[in-house]
Protein backbone atom coordinates (compact mmCIF):
# COMPACT_ATOMS: atom_id res chain seq x y z
CA UNK A 1 0.00 0.00 0.00
CA UNK A 2 2.88 2.37 0.72
CA UNK A 3 4.11 1.86 -2.85
CA UNK A 4 0.68 2.75 -4.25
CA UNK A 5 0.34 5.81 -2.01
CA UNK A 6 3.82 7.03 -2.94
CA UNK A 7 3.01 6.80 -6.64
CA UNK A 8 -0.31 8.54 -6.12
CA UNK A 9 1.66 11.34 -4.50
CA UNK A 10 4.28 11.29 -7.28
CA UNK A 11 1.42 11.65 -9.75
CA UNK A 12 0.57 15.00 -8.15
CA UNK A 13 -2.57 13.89 -6.36
CA UNK A 14 -2.84 17.49 -5.13
CA UNK A 15 -4.31 18.19 -8.58
CA UNK A 16 -7.03 15.50 -8.31
CA UNK A 17 -9.79 18.04 -7.51
CA UNK A 18 -9.24 19.24 -11.08
CA UNK A 19 -10.80 15.98 -12.32
CA UNK A 20 -12.72 14.56 -9.36
CA UNK A 21 -14.85 17.63 -8.70
CA UNK A 22 -16.10 18.08 -12.29
CA UNK A 23 -16.91 14.36 -12.28
CA UNK A 24 -18.87 14.74 -9.04
CA UNK A 25 -20.80 17.68 -10.48
CA UNK A 26 -21.82 15.54 -13.46
CA UNK A 27 -22.84 12.70 -11.12
CA UNK A 28 -24.93 14.90 -8.84
CA UNK A 29 -26.81 16.47 -11.74
CA UNK A 30 -27.34 13.02 -13.28
CA UNK A 31 -28.77 11.70 -10.01
CA UNK A 32 -32.24 12.99 -10.87
CA UNK A 33 -32.48 10.75 -13.94
CA UNK A 34 -34.58 7.58 -13.86
CA UNK A 35 -31.66 5.67 -15.40
CA UNK A 36 -29.12 6.88 -12.81
CA UNK A 37 -26.70 4.25 -11.50
CA UNK A 38 -24.65 4.95 -8.38
CA UNK A 39 -22.43 1.93 -9.06
CA UNK A 40 -21.54 3.06 -12.57
CA UNK A 41 -21.01 6.59 -11.25
CA UNK A 42 -18.41 5.27 -8.80
CA UNK A 43 -16.68 3.28 -11.55
CA UNK A 44 -16.61 6.37 -13.76
CA UNK A 45 -15.22 8.54 -10.94
CA UNK A 46 -12.47 6.01 -10.15
CA UNK A 47 -11.65 5.75 -13.83
CA UNK A 48 -11.41 9.51 -14.23
CA UNK A 49 -9.14 9.92 -11.21
CA UNK A 50 -6.89 7.05 -12.25
CA UNK A 51 -6.66 8.40 -15.80
CA UNK A 52 -5.73 11.82 -14.37
CA UNK A 53 -2.93 10.35 -12.24
CA UNK A 54 -1.71 8.31 -15.18
CA UNK A 55 -1.73 11.34 -17.47
CA UNK A 56 0.33 13.32 -14.93
CA UNK A 57 2.92 10.54 -14.83
CA UNK A 58 2.99 10.30 -18.63
CA UNK A 59 3.60 14.06 -18.68
CA UNK A 60 6.58 13.56 -16.36
CA UNK A 61 7.84 10.65 -18.43
CA UNK A 62 7.80 12.46 -21.77
CA UNK A 63 9.15 15.66 -20.22
CA UNK A 64 12.06 13.64 -18.85
CA UNK A 65 12.67 12.19 -22.30
CA UNK A 66 12.85 15.70 -23.73
CA UNK A 67 14.64 17.50 -20.89
CA UNK A 68 16.91 16.52 -18.04
CA UNK A 69 14.72 16.65 -14.90
CA UNK A 70 17.19 18.96 -13.15
CA UNK A 71 16.80 21.77 -15.67
CA UNK A 72 14.60 23.80 -13.33
CA UNK A 73 17.29 23.75 -10.65
CA UNK A 74 19.83 25.03 -13.17
CA UNK A 75 17.45 27.79 -14.23
CA UNK A 76 16.94 28.83 -10.61
CA UNK A 77 20.70 28.89 -10.03
CA UNK A 78 21.02 31.21 -13.04
CA UNK A 79 18.60 33.70 -11.52
CA UNK A 80 15.40 32.60 -13.25
CA UNK A 81 12.65 32.15 -10.71
CA UNK A 82 11.44 28.65 -11.53
CA UNK A 83 9.38 26.02 -9.80
CA UNK A 84 11.86 23.28 -8.94
CA UNK A 85 9.66 20.53 -7.53
CA UNK A 86 8.70 18.56 -10.66
CA UNK A 87 9.99 14.95 -10.85
CA UNK A 88 11.78 15.29 -7.51
CA UNK A 89 11.14 11.58 -6.97
CA UNK A 90 13.39 10.88 -9.97
CA UNK A 91 16.05 13.41 -9.04
CA UNK A 92 16.49 12.12 -5.48
CA UNK A 93 16.59 8.46 -6.54
CA UNK A 94 13.30 7.32 -5.00
CA UNK A 95 12.22 5.98 -8.38
CA UNK A 96 13.65 5.27 -11.81
CA UNK A 97 12.35 6.26 -15.24
CA UNK A 98 11.48 2.60 -15.86
CA UNK A 99 9.38 2.50 -12.69
CA UNK A 100 7.72 5.74 -13.78
CA UNK A 101 6.77 4.11 -17.09
CA UNK A 102 5.30 1.09 -15.29
CA UNK A 103 3.34 3.23 -12.81
CA UNK A 104 1.90 5.42 -15.58
CA UNK A 105 0.89 2.29 -17.50
CA UNK A 106 -0.82 0.72 -14.49
CA UNK A 107 -2.85 3.83 -13.69
CA UNK A 108 -3.92 4.02 -17.33
CA UNK A 109 -4.83 0.32 -17.46
CA UNK A 110 -6.96 0.64 -14.32
CA UNK A 111 -8.77 3.60 -15.90
CA UNK A 112 -9.41 1.51 -19.03
CA UNK A 113 -10.79 -1.32 -16.86
CA UNK A 114 -13.24 1.06 -15.17
CA UNK A 115 -14.22 2.39 -18.58
CA UNK A 116 -14.75 -1.10 -19.94
CA UNK A 117 -17.14 -1.93 -17.09
CA UNK A 118 -19.13 1.23 -17.75
CA UNK A 119 -19.20 0.42 -21.48
CA UNK A 120 -20.70 -3.02 -20.87
CA UNK A 121 -23.59 -1.59 -18.85
CA UNK A 122 -24.09 1.45 -21.09
CA UNK A 123 -23.83 -0.51 -24.32
CA UNK A 124 -26.57 1.55 -25.96
CA UNK A 125 -24.26 4.58 -25.58
CA UNK A 126 -21.14 2.71 -26.75
CA UNK A 127 -20.49 4.98 -29.75
CA UNK A 128 -20.60 8.18 -27.69
CA UNK A 129 -18.52 6.66 -24.89
CA UNK A 130 -15.89 5.25 -27.24
CA UNK A 131 -15.57 8.56 -29.07
CA UNK A 132 -15.10 10.43 -25.78
CA UNK A 133 -12.57 7.90 -24.46
CA UNK A 134 -10.55 7.80 -27.68
CA UNK A 135 -10.40 11.59 -28.04
CA UNK A 136 -9.49 11.97 -24.36
CA UNK A 137 -6.74 9.34 -24.57
CA UNK A 138 -5.30 10.88 -27.74
CA UNK A 139 -5.28 14.41 -26.32
CA UNK A 140 -3.88 13.27 -22.95
CA UNK A 141 -0.92 11.46 -24.50
CA UNK A 142 -0.34 14.18 -27.10
CA UNK A 143 -0.09 16.78 -24.33
CA UNK A 144 3.60 15.92 -23.81
CA UNK A 145 4.27 12.95 -26.10
CA UNK A 146 5.66 13.19 -29.62
CA UNK A 147 4.89 13.84 -32.36
CA UNK A 148 2.38 16.55 -31.38
CA UNK A 149 3.64 17.68 -27.93
CA UNK A 150 0.70 20.05 -27.61
CA UNK A 151 2.04 21.59 -24.39
CA UNK A 152 5.13 22.71 -26.32
CA UNK A 153 3.24 24.54 -29.08
CA UNK A 154 0.84 26.70 -27.08
CA UNK A 155 -2.11 24.30 -27.09
CA UNK A 156 -1.59 22.53 -23.77
CA UNK A 157 -3.92 24.74 -21.72
CA UNK A 158 -6.79 24.51 -24.21
CA UNK A 159 -6.27 20.75 -24.53
CA UNK A 160 -6.63 20.13 -20.80
CA UNK A 161 -9.60 22.47 -20.60
CA UNK A 162 -11.38 20.33 -23.20
CA UNK A 163 -10.39 17.11 -21.43
CA UNK A 164 -11.38 18.12 -17.89
CA UNK A 165 -14.41 20.10 -18.98
CA UNK A 166 -16.71 18.88 -21.79
CA UNK A 167 -15.11 15.46 -22.45
CA UNK A 168 -14.86 14.42 -18.79
CA UNK A 169 -18.21 15.73 -17.63
CA UNK A 170 -20.19 14.54 -20.63
CA UNK A 171 -18.55 11.12 -20.38
CA UNK A 172 -19.34 10.81 -16.67
CA UNK A 173 -22.91 12.00 -17.28
CA UNK A 174 -23.43 9.26 -19.86
CA UNK A 175 -21.89 6.69 -17.49
CA UNK A 176 -24.05 7.81 -14.58
CA UNK A 177 -27.38 8.30 -16.34
CA UNK A 178 -26.98 7.24 -19.96
CA UNK A 179 -27.68 10.76 -21.20
CA UNK A 180 -26.53 14.38 -21.26
CA UNK A 181 -28.31 17.74 -21.16
CA UNK A 182 -27.75 21.17 -22.70
CA UNK A 183 -27.34 22.85 -19.27
CA UNK A 184 -24.88 20.08 -18.38
CA UNK A 185 -22.87 20.88 -21.50
CA UNK A 186 -22.86 24.59 -20.59
CA UNK A 187 -21.61 23.83 -17.09
CA UNK A 188 -18.90 21.53 -18.46
CA UNK A 189 -17.63 24.28 -20.76
CA UNK A 190 -17.50 26.76 -17.86
CA UNK A 191 -15.56 24.24 -15.77
CA UNK A 192 -13.25 23.68 -18.75
CA UNK A 193 -12.42 27.41 -18.85
CA UNK A 194 -11.60 27.33 -15.13
CA UNK A 195 -9.28 24.35 -15.73
CA UNK A 196 -7.60 26.28 -18.55
CA UNK A 197 -7.04 29.06 -16.04
CA UNK A 198 -5.14 26.67 -13.72
CA UNK A 199 -2.75 25.74 -16.51
CA UNK A 200 -2.49 29.30 -17.79
CA UNK A 201 -1.72 30.69 -14.32
CA UNK A 202 0.95 27.99 -14.09
CA UNK A 203 2.36 29.09 -17.48
CA UNK A 204 2.42 32.78 -16.55
CA UNK A 205 4.55 32.04 -13.50
CA UNK A 206 6.82 29.63 -15.42
CA UNK A 207 7.12 31.99 -18.39
CA UNK A 208 10.90 32.51 -18.27
CA UNK A 209 11.63 28.87 -17.40
CA UNK A 210 9.45 27.54 -20.21
CA UNK A 211 10.80 30.00 -22.76
CA UNK A 212 14.38 29.03 -21.90
CA UNK A 213 13.72 25.37 -22.80
CA UNK A 214 11.60 26.25 -25.84
CA UNK A 215 8.36 25.01 -24.28
CA UNK A 216 5.83 27.21 -26.02
CA UNK A 217 3.00 27.48 -23.55
CA UNK A 218 0.21 29.90 -24.44
CA UNK A 219 1.93 32.61 -22.37
CA UNK A 220 5.22 32.06 -24.23
CA UNK A 221 3.44 32.14 -27.59
CA UNK A 222 1.78 35.43 -26.67
CA UNK A 223 5.12 36.84 -25.43
CA UNK A 224 3.53 40.18 -24.62
CA UNK A 225 2.59 41.30 -21.12
CA UNK A 226 -0.56 43.10 -22.23
CA UNK A 227 -1.83 40.03 -24.12
CA UNK A 228 -0.82 37.73 -21.27
CA UNK A 229 -2.81 39.91 -18.87
CA UNK A 230 -5.75 39.99 -21.27
CA UNK A 231 -5.96 36.20 -21.37
CA UNK A 232 -5.66 36.01 -17.57
CA UNK A 233 -8.63 38.36 -17.40
CA UNK A 234 -10.50 36.25 -19.94
CA UNK A 235 -9.93 32.89 -18.24
CA UNK A 236 -10.57 34.14 -14.69
CA UNK A 237 -13.67 36.25 -15.28
CA UNK A 238 -15.41 34.82 -18.38
CA UNK A 239 -17.07 31.99 -16.37
CA UNK A 240 -18.94 34.60 -14.33
CA UNK A 241 -19.94 36.52 -17.46
CA UNK A 242 -21.14 33.33 -19.15
CA UNK A 243 -23.27 32.30 -16.18
CA UNK A 244 -25.02 35.67 -16.15
CA UNK A 245 -25.54 35.55 -19.93
CA UNK A 246 -26.95 32.02 -19.92
CA UNK A 247 -29.29 32.88 -17.05
CA UNK A 248 -30.52 35.95 -18.96
CA UNK A 249 -31.04 33.74 -22.02
CA UNK A 250 -33.05 31.27 -19.87
CA UNK A 251 -30.58 28.50 -20.70
CA UNK A 252 -29.65 28.19 -17.03
CA UNK A 253 -32.00 28.69 -14.07
CA UNK A 254 -31.47 31.83 -11.92
CA UNK A 255 -30.18 29.73 -9.02
CA UNK A 256 -26.86 29.51 -10.85
CA UNK A 257 -26.26 33.18 -10.04
CA UNK A 258 -25.26 31.93 -6.59
CA UNK A 259 -21.85 31.17 -8.09
CA UNK A 260 -21.16 34.92 -8.16
CA UNK A 261 -20.16 34.63 -4.49
CA UNK A 262 -16.81 33.33 -5.79
CA UNK A 263 -16.05 36.57 -7.68
CA UNK A 264 -14.03 38.23 -4.85
CA UNK A 265 -11.73 35.17 -4.75
CA UNK A 266 -11.24 35.46 -8.51
CA UNK A 267 -10.36 39.14 -8.14
CA UNK A 268 -7.79 38.26 -5.47
CA UNK A 269 -6.16 35.73 -7.81
CA UNK A 270 -6.09 38.24 -10.65
CA UNK A 271 -4.44 40.87 -8.47
CA UNK A 272 -1.79 38.38 -7.34
CA UNK A 273 -0.97 37.57 -10.98
CA UNK A 274 -0.64 41.27 -11.78
CA UNK A 275 1.71 41.62 -8.81
CA UNK A 276 3.81 38.72 -10.07
CA UNK A 277 4.05 40.21 -13.56
CA UNK A 278 5.14 43.54 -12.13
CA UNK A 279 7.70 41.95 -9.82
CA UNK A 280 8.31 38.15 -9.97
CA UNK A 281 10.07 38.29 -6.62
CA UNK A 282 6.98 39.69 -4.91
CA UNK A 283 5.36 37.56 -2.24
CA UNK A 284 1.76 37.43 -1.13
CA UNK A 285 0.42 36.43 2.25
CA UNK A 286 -1.99 33.59 2.75
CA UNK A 287 -5.50 34.65 3.67
CA UNK A 288 -8.41 32.60 4.94
CA UNK A 289 -9.99 32.57 1.49
CA UNK A 290 -6.88 30.96 -0.05
CA UNK A 291 -7.53 27.64 1.65
CA UNK A 292 -7.43 24.67 1.22
CA UNK A 293 -3.70 24.45 0.58
CA UNK A 294 -2.31 20.98 1.24
CA UNK A 295 1.25 20.20 2.38
CA UNK A 296 2.00 23.89 2.90
CA UNK A 297 4.92 23.30 5.27
CA UNK A 298 6.69 21.12 2.70
CA UNK A 299 5.94 23.66 -0.03
CA UNK A 300 7.41 26.49 2.03
CA UNK A 301 10.52 24.45 2.81
CA UNK A 302 10.95 23.74 -0.91
CA UNK A 303 10.82 27.47 -1.62
CA UNK A 304 7.91 27.28 -4.04
CA UNK A 305 5.27 28.94 -1.89
CA UNK A 306 5.21 31.94 -4.27
CA UNK A 307 4.21 29.57 -7.06
CA UNK A 308 1.87 27.22 -5.20
CA UNK A 309 -0.17 29.95 -3.49
CA UNK A 310 -1.23 31.28 -6.88
CA UNK A 311 -1.62 27.78 -8.31
CA UNK A 312 -3.78 26.71 -5.36
CA UNK A 313 -5.88 29.85 -5.79
CA UNK A 314 -6.55 28.97 -9.43
CA UNK A 315 -7.30 25.36 -8.53
CA UNK A 316 -9.60 26.44 -5.72
CA UNK A 317 -11.71 28.44 -8.16
CA UNK A 318 -12.56 25.09 -9.76
CA UNK A 319 -13.15 23.62 -6.31
CA UNK A 320 -15.52 26.41 -5.19
CA UNK A 321 -17.41 26.46 -8.49
CA UNK A 322 -17.88 22.70 -8.45
CA UNK A 323 -18.92 22.55 -4.81
CA UNK A 324 -21.44 25.31 -5.50
CA UNK A 325 -22.76 23.35 -8.48
CA UNK A 326 -23.08 20.26 -6.26
CA UNK A 327 -25.06 22.33 -3.77
CA UNK A 328 -27.34 23.53 -6.56
CA UNK A 329 -27.80 19.94 -7.75
CA UNK A 330 -29.05 18.92 -4.32
CA UNK A 331 -32.00 21.26 -4.68
CA UNK A 332 -32.48 21.54 -8.41
CA UNK A 333 -32.56 19.00 -11.23
CA UNK A 334 -31.57 20.17 -14.71
DSSP 8-76: HHHTTGGGTHHHHHHHHHHHHHHTTSTT--HHHHHHHHHHHHHHHHHHHHHHHHHHHHHS-TTHHHHHH
The reported pLDDT for the residue numbered 78 is 43
Which range among 114-118, 152-156, 291-295 shows the weakest confidence by mean pLDDT?
291-295
Residue 1's pLDDT band (boundaries 50, 70, 90)?
low
> Which range among 93-102, 135-144, 259-268, 282-291 shows the weakest confidence by mean pLDDT?
282-291
Q: Are 317 and 197 in contact (CB under 8 A)?
A: yes
Q: Where are the domains of the chain?
A: 2-331
Could you give the CA distance from residue 156 to residue 56 in angstroms, rounded to a whole number?
13
Can the peptide bond before residue 81 be classed as cis, meaning omega within 30 degrees of 0?
A: no
Assign 216 to helix, strand or coil. Answer: strand
Helix residue spans in 180-304 (DSSP H): 182-205, 207-212, 218-222, 225-248, 263-278, 296-302
CA distance 62 to 116: 26
pLDDT tens per residue, range 185-220: 999 999 999 999 999 999 999 888 888 877 889 999
- Look at residues 131, 113, 81, 103 and name the one whose alpha carbon lies nearest to residue 6: 103
Put simply, whether the predicted model's pTM sits higher than 0.75 gets the answer yes
pLDDT in tens, 235-265: 999 999 999 999 999 999 999 999 999 999 9
Alpha-carbon distances, residue 289 vs 32, 53, 121, 263, 277 (angstroms): 32, 27, 42, 12, 22
So what's the pLDDT on residue 79? 43
Cα radius of gyration (the chain): 20
Amino acid sequence: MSVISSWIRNARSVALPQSALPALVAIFFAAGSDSFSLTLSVFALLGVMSAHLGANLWDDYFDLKKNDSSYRDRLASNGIRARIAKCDYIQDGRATVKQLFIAASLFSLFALLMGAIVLVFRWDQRVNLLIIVLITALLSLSYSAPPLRLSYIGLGEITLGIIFGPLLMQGVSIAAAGTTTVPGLIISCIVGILVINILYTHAVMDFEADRSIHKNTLAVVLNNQKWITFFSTLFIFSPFVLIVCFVLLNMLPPIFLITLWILPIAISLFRSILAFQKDPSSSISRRWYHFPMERWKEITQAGIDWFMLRWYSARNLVLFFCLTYVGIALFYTI
